[in-house]
Structure 1
Amino acid sequence: MTRRLGPTLATPVVVFVLASLLTFGLGALSPSNPAAAVLGETATAADIARMNHEFGLDRPFLARYADWLGASLTGDLGRSYFTTIPVSDSIFAALPVDLTLAGLAVLLAVLLGGAAGIGAALRQGGRFDRAVTFVASGLGTLPPFVVGIGLIVVFSVLLGALPAGGYVPIEAGFLPWLRFAILPALALSLDIAASIARQLRTSLVGQLGENYVTGAVVRGLGPRRVLFRHALRNAVGPALTVLGIGVPMVLGGAVVTEKIFNLPGVARLALQASEQHDVPLIQGTLLVTITVVLVCNTLVNLALLRLTPQGGRQ
């Protein structure tokens, strides 16, 4: 495990550097001119040149990238070209929305997918197993925005039980926050829950047929201990891998989901920045999103090293 720990921790660092270079390069090489966009159509060539100098756009690419990356590591992501508000202030004001929503979505995916997968494996070939397989296959084909619209129609329009949109910070109270967060979190979680259920069911069925499980039963160990202390520990690897892959899916799906549910998150901030060609804000949101994804995937890989006998990385 110690030998695998080094690559597990080093890989995200390399990926971060390459992703940050790509993120900065996409903004720097964009055909749109931020100075011209800020100044408007009446700007002269001299005005645009002066603004480019103020923005530092006339400096060499690598020098600008090195300065940007170094400042980013200290939390300074620059300032918006249009509002002059620090990018980090805008992002960290919106980030709690995404983090709490993604956390709830992942929790729901683990609970729903884990319970369904374990139940289906224990009832292999039965009605519950067939029902889980059918529902999981169906949910796996539906994108989050379709699920979100369906949830709004059922729970907001027909039943009137939950709000169709908006957001209440968790600081205002857990239950008020949950009323607004549960539908978008469900919309983001069901696809991942379906994948977890399928992978866990298949893997657990295979582990329950292994000789070590039979030996544990013969030695008199209880069914619950055999399941949770032995079989599930060895079967959880594929489900954890699905969970690691699901984090980027949650963040990617948040772009449309935040639009549907009118949530003031980072995804909506990035969409507004792209519409305005606000390069520092676009680069900042991408860099923060990449960091969140890498941290989550690293935690999943560390969990795989801890829980599975062979360890492993995605």
Structure 2
Amino acid sequence: MRRALSILAHSVAIFVPVFLVATFVTFALRALSGLSPASLQLGESATPEAIAQIERQWGLDRPFLTQYLDWFGDMVTGDLGKSWYNGADISRLLVEGAAISLSVAGLALLIGVVFGFGFGVLAALRRTTWVDRAITGFMTFISVMPSFVVGIALVGVFAVGLGWFPSAGYSPAERGLGTWLAHITLPAIALSFDTVSDVARQLRAGLVAAYRENYVTGAVVRGLGPRRIFFRHVLRNGVGPALAVLGLKFPNLLGGAVVTEAIFGMAGFGQFAANSAQRGDVPAVQGVLVVSVVLVVVFNLIVNVVLARVAPASARGV
């Protein structure tokens, strides 16, 4: 527990300045973009006087640092401001979209962990055999398949052809877990291929390297059984690379949701971000980036703590 708390404190010390810099850069988007709410509300024919009046209403005539500090203070309390496009509360819109995207990304991550660990362990236990070569080849094949191609193929086969799943839309879990899972299964599978392949390959490499260590040879000499050697020595010391890669895959799952949600007709986090960017709705884009940064930071904190707890070598920097 002391080691896990130490790793948590170290991770927080790293991620807090990263978060501060990321939020500052995010807020600077409006000044860098040159966009204004007047361009959305008045169009290209707006007069300079009308533009100045609208910017004054939104508080954009104040000094930059004053705007940033006010925005940061509201942001840490959960208030991400109002949309330039329709004046809607951005926090509420993001919560609605994030529920969809996190459902898909969460299931994709679960699929990636389960199948990635399964294939990785099997390849390591059957290393240098045809099973190992077949799994490695299959993982390489699915790693180069874009999620939008996989999504279109899944819709054509399992939704249109076989009718096992709905082809588009989203149903909240409150309306039934079965219906909810049916709507998010195909997009989650489409997103999970890259995670499955990377986790499997990293786990296989870590386990094979662990099997070559002297402490495994010593365990065999002492007469320990293969199962005990695997779970007590090999898995704990070889799982580190696979856990580390999960911290890198979560942002990819959120980013890949933009195209996947468009294919499956979901009004999720990614679709909201894309629509906001196309409209030039800077506060909405800023809200999307802030939420994305928070999700990625929190997930990486969890991964670091689990990694320090499960893999002892990671806590020593090995």
2-structure distance, mates of 1:160, 1:232: 40
Q: Deviations over 1:115-170 (max 9, x none)?
A: 00000000112222111111111111122112211222221233222122111111
Q: 2:208 aligns with which of 205, 208, 215?
A: 205
1:1-314 mapped onto 2 (5 Å cutoff): 1=3, 4-311=7-314
8 A contact 2:240–2:311 mirrored in 1 = yes
Q: Which amino acid aligns with 1:224?
A: R
Q: Which amino acid aligns with 2:212?
A: G
SS in 2 for 1:310: helix
Distance 1:3 1:297 in 2: 15
Q: Work out the CA distance in 2 between the residues paired with 1:203 and 1:89.
A: 43
CA distance in structure 2 between the partners assigned to 1:230 and 1:84 by the alignment = 57
Contact 2:35–2:282 (Cα < 8 Å) also in 1: no
Residues 40 and 84, structure 2, Cα contact 8 Å, conserved in 1: no
Once structures 1 and 2 are overlaid, which stretch shifts more, 92-101 or 208-217?
208-217
* CA 1:194–1:76: 2 relative to 1, 3 Å: same
Distance in structure 2 (CA, Å) of the matches to 1:209 and 1:310: 16
Deviations 1:70-110 (A, max 9, x none): 10000010011121111101111211111121111111000
2:9 and 2:312 mapped to 1: Cα distance? 17
- Unmatched runs of 5 consecutive residues or more in structure 1: none
Query: Deviation at 1:42?
Result: 4.0
Taking the aligned partners of 2:233 and 2:306, their CA distance within structure 1 comes to: 16
Which deviates more from structure 2 when the two are superposed, residues 156-165 or residues 61-70? 156-165
Quote the Cα distance in structure 1 between the aligned partners of 2:181 and 2:217. 43
The 2-side partners of 1:175 and 1:217 are apart by: 47
Q: CA deviation at 1:57?
A: 1.1
Q: CA deviation at 1:23?
A: 0.8
Tell me, what secondary structure is at the counterpart of 2:91? helix
Letter in 2 for 1:82: Y
Structure 2: tracts of 5 or more residues without a match: none
Q: Post-superposition shift, 1:3?
A: 5.2
Report deviation, 1:215.
2.7
Aligned equivalents of 1:293, 1:303: Cα separation in 2 = 15
TM-score (ref. length: structure 1) = 0.95
Q: Which amino acid aligns with 2:305?
A: L
TM-score of the pair, normalised by structure 2: 0.94
Alignment root-mean-square deviation, CA: 1.6
Tell me the matched-pair count.
313
Deviations 1:47-87 (A, max 9, x none): 11100101111111111111111100000100111211111
State the distance in 2 between where 1:163 and 1:122 align: 38
Counterpart amino acid of residue 211 in structure 2: L
